[in-house]
Amino acid sequence: MKNLDKSFGLVIAVILLVSLLMPLGNLLLPEGSAFKFSAYSISLVGKYWCFALLALSLDLVWGYAGILVLGHSAFFALGGYVMGMYLMRQIGDRGVYGDPLLPDFMVFLNWKELPWYWQGFQHFGFAGLMVLLVPGFLALLFGWLAFRSRVTGVYLSIITQALTYALMLAFFRNEMGFGGNNGLTDFKDILGFSIQSDAVRSLLLLTSGLLLIIALLLGQALAGSKMGKVITAIRDQESRVRFLGYRVEYFKLWIFVFSAMLAGLAGALYVPQVGIINPSEFSPINALEVVIWVAVGGRGTLYGAVIGAILVNYAKTLLTGLMPEIWLFSLGAIFVIVTMYLPRGLVGLFDHWIRRWTAQRQLLTPGAQEAGL
């Protein structure tokens, strides 16, 4: 338990340091300095933080509540689209067609006016609210139907995968009004500042880092609360919890909605840093990747999910740069290895090593003292 708290603190400290020092290096150091981090690397790390937040949100439902969601990236993508809509409205008349109101793709489709569901997204506050509400509402609706009918296990996993697949197909359609195939891109400003500028990129990295830390702390507080205990209990003995008088479906719904909102937030931070959101974010393969991040890091610890997401994505960045064709095979291999040999993920492995090391030291210390005397 002590080890766990220490590792938790360490992970938070590293995230905080990186989120502060990288922007400082980028903004303050002169050209040519070794720690003059490029805009590219800043956005890359910011992207990792977003993935880490997504992994953390999945760990809440999978690691704690035992609900394996194979479509969690749907909530991430929805949050991303909401942010994308705000960023599209920010472009104003600077689009290729110069329409003051309509985004380029709508002009291209010969649309004459802005659809009703695009109203209000020019306001950052409204969009920010929707970043949480849209994924939250979908999770509420879906979870209510699924948990009330007591759909569990592999059936639920498959339905969630179908959900994200259905959303992907829907968002591919031009008639949906979200840019179809191309999605939303060519963003210019966020809150009136150029999205390409180093300062904005730095701030986005810092914001993502801070929100990730807040989510980690919130998640840990939740796990330690009675709520967290009930949710863990549901994972292990669902019917027992029901016979204790808890409405299991409401608890599952609660954590599912909370988690979907976090995933949406992660997506909303991701989009301005990568500059595009398109329907491929809904693809089932993305959703499966998130599951692998969490499994690699070690589920049910929160910081394990964060470590897993960062390491796997770092490996992905390296490998897709060197040999893009082998990435999916490597990912599959990682999953097989983790499932077979590391059921508790990397965090479980470190924990095991630390335990063994302390045990050995305790064995050695009295002997060493006697030798000295």
Partner 1 sequence: MINQGVVMEAGMVQGMDTVIDSRHGTILYLEDVSVSFDGFKALNNLSLYIDAGELRCLIGPNGAGKTTLMDVITGKTRPDTGSVFFGQTIDLLQLDEPAIAETGICRKFQKPSVFDALSVFENLQLALKTNKSTWATLFSRLQDEQLARIYEVLATIGLTHLLDKPAGILSHGQKQWLEIGMLLMQDPKVMLVDEPIAGMTHQEVERTAELLLSLQGKHSLVVVEHDMAFVRSIAKRVTVLHEGSVLTEGSMDDVQNDPRVIQVYLGE
256 vs 282 by CB, closer to partner 1: 256
Instruction: Give the angle 235-165-284 at the CA atoms, nearest 5°.
Output: 65
Take residue 179 and report the two structure tokens written for it: 């840019």
d(CA 370, CA 342): 39
Per-residue contact string for residues 238-277; x = within reach of partner 1 by CB under 8 A: -xxxxxxxxxx-xx--x-----------------------
126 vs 254 by CB, closer to partner 1: 254
Q: Does 144 bind partner 1 (CB under 8 A)?
A: no
Closest CB 229 distance from partner 1, rounded Å: 5
Query: Strands (DSSP E) along the chain, which ranges?
Result: 184-185, 189-190, 193-194, 276-277
Q: Does 2 bind partner 1 (CB under 8 A)?
A: no
Helix ranges (H only) for 1-150 are 2-28, 39-59, 73-91, 104-108, 124-148
Contact 140, 253 (CB under 8 A): yes
68 vs 257 by CB, closer to partner 1: 257
100 vs 245 by CB, closer to partner 1: 245
Q: SS3 for 197?
A: coil
Contact 234, 66 (CB under 8 A): yes
Q: Does 346 bind partner 1 (CB under 8 A)?
A: no
Distance (Å) of CA 241 to CA 40, 244, 251, 252: 49, 5, 11, 12
Distance (Å) of CA 246 to CA 42, 146, 230, 232: 46, 17, 8, 13
Helix axes 284-297, 345-372, angle to 10 degrees: 10
Which residue has 């109101």 as its token pair? 101
Closest CB 290 distance from partner 1, rounded Å: 23
Closest CB 240 distance from partner 1, rounded Å: 4
Q: Does 126 bind partner 1 (CB under 8 A)?
A: no
Q: Does 127 bind partner 1 (CB under 8 A)?
A: no
150 vs 356 by CB, closer to partner 1: 150
Residue from the set 27, 114, 210, 233 that interacts with partner 1 by CB under 8 A = 233
Residue from the set 30, 31, 226, 369 that interacts with partner 1 by CB under 8 A = 226
d(CA 45, CA 47): 5
Closest CB 239 distance from partner 1, rounded Å: 7
Q: Does 140 bind partner 1 (CB under 8 A)?
A: no
Of 230-238, 278-286, 302-310, 335-343: span binding partner 1 (CB under 8 A):
230-238
Closest CB 5 distance from partner 1, rounded Å: 16
* H/E run at residue 328: helix 327-341
78 vs 230 by CB, closer to partner 1: 230
Take residue 147 and report the two structure tokens written for it: 């948990």
123 vs 150 by CB, closer to partner 1: 150
Instruction: Give the angle 250-256-259 at the CA atoms, nearest 5°.
Output: 140
63 vs 135 by CB, closer to partner 1: 63
Of 163-171, 185-193, 225-233, 356-364: span binding partner 1 (CB under 8 A):
225-233
Q: Does 355 bind partner 1 (CB under 8 A)?
A: no
Q: Does 227 bind partner 1 (CB under 8 A)?
A: yes
Residues of this chain that bind partner 1 (CB under 8 A): 225-227, 229-230, 232-233, 235-237, 239-248, 250-251, 254
